[in-house]
Structure 1
């Protein structure tokens, strides 16, 4: 699949929302039960340079974004990752291409740690993250309920090999 990667923009919202809603409908991707109604709500807390889409011939096949985990300056280089792939494009390398670009851009933007909290049953997402340098750092049992069912989360993180290594004087 020949894909191009670029920053998401407001005109992409209908396709982004469709992909997000498809992920929500699996019951494996998020505790959210509906997508935001507007692009502005969806991107509100996201880092704009680290909000990407994978597209080909005006069709979006996936998106990813980083949301800073805190406003505190000590955590300025730590972000939570979200990656969603169109149902018809899953298993075709879209998530991997998005991740490779997101990691590079995130490091250029000063992120030294990327983290993810993934439903323990979402094996394909856990595999994708580990394939891109994430490691399992924890497990949260029954962290939240989705449709009346308790869900466990696997915590993963990826530390940059080029950002955050320098020692402070």
Structure 2
């Protein structure tokens, strides 16, 4: 499949939200239980580093960064979100998106990217590791789903070799 990695546009939200919802419905992608409005999502994510994998007018996956703190000392630390359309998993789209997100983050001054991945989401954990993230630890029973199931969260981090080295 041919696709390009591009900057996410506001007009992409409907397809991005559909992919996000499908991730929510797996029960192992996030503790989020419903899709936020575009306005809420837009406000909670960095204005830079929002990417989609697109072929023609169809989006196959997306990745974005959220700030981890409003404190200025953490301005270069971001939390990664990445979601791939179920029909497109295993095609290298996730790796291409995450690698491009890393590049974009470094161009925008991020020295650390982190991710909290539910322990049961082995594919996401493997993707992050493949893209240079290290598993730092496991936070046991960090969150409880509405179904009553508790989930452990694996904390992953990627330190830039280009930014924050001075």
TM-score, normalised to structure 1, is: 0.95
Gap runs ≥5 in structure 1: none
Cα distance in 2 for partners of 1:112, 1:74 equals: 11
Question: How far is 1:22 from its partner?
Answer: 0.4
1:104-141 per-position Cα deviation (integer Å, ceiling 9, x unaligned): 11000000000000000100000000000000111100
What corresponds to 2:142 in structure 1? 143
Q: CA deviation at 1:10?
A: 1.5
Return the alpha-carbon distance in structure 2 between the equivalents of residues 24 and 105 of structure 1. 26
1:41-78 deviation line (CA, Å, top 9, x unaligned): 21212112111111001100000100010011111100
Counterpart residue number, 1:31: 31
- In the other structure, the counterpart of 2:112 is 113
- In structure 2, the partner of 1:50 is 49
3-state secondary structure, aligned to 2:28: coil
What is the aligned partner in structure 1 of residue 40 from structure 2? Answer: 41
Q: CA RMSD in A?
A: 0.8
1:68 match: 67
Point out 4+ residue stretches in structure 1 off by more than 2 angstroms. Answer: none
After superposition, the C-alpha distances for 1:119-168 in whole angstroms (9 at most, x for unaligned) are 001000000000000001111000010121111000000000110111xx
| Equivalences for residues 86-165 of structure 1 within 5 A | 86-146=85-145, 147-165=147-165
Q: How many residues align?
A: 165
Q: Map of 1:6-17 to 2, 5 A cutoff?
A: 6-17=6-17
With the length of structure 2 as denominator, give the TM-score of the two structures. Answer: 0.97
